[in-house]
């Protein structure tokens, strides 16, 4: 692996590809393309026995665990029963690290940092939705935790083209590197023979 892009022990962290979120259209990358690229990356990381982290956001029915604080956009209380179920395309495996968050980012209030450090992970490849919420929040926190961050720009998307563009061109370069799915795949080591 090229030290400029991927560390030898890099984890793939997939944000919020769950039934209650992927139903809405996304820009600039259609959600179907985002899912397909994530599946390609997940398969590649598993084939190399590199950690795959699948993150979902979930709240109790009474919203008692929604982060407190005054916001202009209040938390929505009516979510379908399968809102927080990871999509079937991810083909969850026993070797995957599953993280349930109650915030935008995947680090605060979870054991993600502990799970990564136990495995010697020093870099993360970040994908999922939405760019300006879960992905950006997780990238910021990963950077603050000292991880080398790579955001896969064609494996993320948002509801806002302007917001997505701002994150990709202004925020992510300050937190780490950006790359395409093809660039990440090209930098991975050979698959592990089993």
CATH of 10-60+82-187, one of 3.20.20.450, 3.40.50.300, 3.40.50.850, 3.40.50.2300: 3.40.50.850
Query: What is the structure's pLDDT at 1?
Result: 45
- The residues pairing with 18 across neighbouring beta strands, listed in sequence order, are 86
Query: What is the structure's pLDDT at 79?
Result: 72
Instruction: Report, as an integer, the average pLDDT of 8-13.
Output: 97
Instruction: Report, as an integer, the average pLDDT of 74-84.
Output: 73
Tens of pLDDT, residues 178-194: 999 999 999 999 999 87
Q: How far apart are CA 71 and CA 91, in angstroms?
A: 35
Q: How far apart are CA 97 and CA 104, in angstroms?
A: 18
**Angle subtended at Cα 65 by Cα 61 and Cα 69, rounded to the nearest 5 degrees:** 120
Q: Is the pLDDT of residue 100 over 80?
A: yes
Structure tokens at 17: 């590809």
Confidence category of residue 80, pLDDT binned at 50, 70, 90: confident
Give the range among 1-5, 98-102, 111-115 with minimum mean pLDDT. 1-5
Instruction: Report, as an integer, the average pLDDT of 127-135.
Output: 97
Q: Which residue has 């979510």 as its token pair?
A: 79
Sketch the domain layout of the chain as residue ranges: 10-60+82-187
Tens of pLDDT, residues 60-73: 555 556 566 665 66
Query: What is the structure's pLDDT at 191?
Result: 95
The answer to whether 143 and 118 have CB atoms below 8 angstroms apart is no
**Angle subtended at Cα 179 by Cα 164 and Cα 26, rounded to the nearest 5 degrees:** 30
DSSP per residue over 95-145, as a string?
TSEEEEESSSSSSTTSSHHHHHHHTT--EEEEEEE-IIIIIHHHHHHHHHT
Q: Quick one: the chain helix, strand, coil %, rounded to 5?
A: 35, 20, 45
Q: What is the mean pLDDT of the chain?
A: 92
- Between the alpha carbon of residue 44 and those of residues 48, 52, 106, 143, the distances in Å are 6, 10, 22, 24
* pTM: predicted TM-score of the whole model, two decimal places: 0.93
Q: Is the pLDDT of residue 120 over 80?
A: yes
Helix (H) or strand (E) holding 46: helix 31-47
């Amino acid at each position: 692996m090229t030290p400029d892009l991927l560390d030898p022990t890099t984890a793939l962290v997939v944000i919020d590809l769950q039934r209650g979120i992927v139903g809405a259209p996304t820009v600039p990358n259609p959600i179907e393309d985002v899912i397909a690229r994530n599946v390609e990356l997940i398969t590649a990381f598993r084939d190399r026995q590199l950690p795959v982290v699948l993150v979902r956001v979930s709240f109790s029915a009474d919203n008692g665990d929604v982060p407190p604080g005054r916001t202009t956009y209040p938390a929505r209380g009516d979510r379908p029963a399968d809102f927080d179920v990871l999509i079937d395309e991810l083909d969850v495996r026993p070797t995957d690290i599953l993280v349930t968050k109650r915030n935008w980012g995947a680090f605060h209030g979870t054991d993600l940092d502990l799970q990564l450090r136990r495995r010697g992970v020093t870099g993360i490849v970040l994908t999922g939705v939405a760019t300006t919420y879960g992905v950006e929040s997780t990238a910021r926190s990963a950077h603050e935790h000292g991880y080398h961050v790579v955001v896969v720009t064609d494996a993320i998307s948002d509801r806002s083209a302007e917001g997505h563009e701002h994150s990709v061109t202004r925020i992510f370069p300050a937190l780490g590197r950006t790359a395409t799915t093809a660039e990440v795949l090209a930098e991975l080591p050979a698959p592990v023979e089993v």
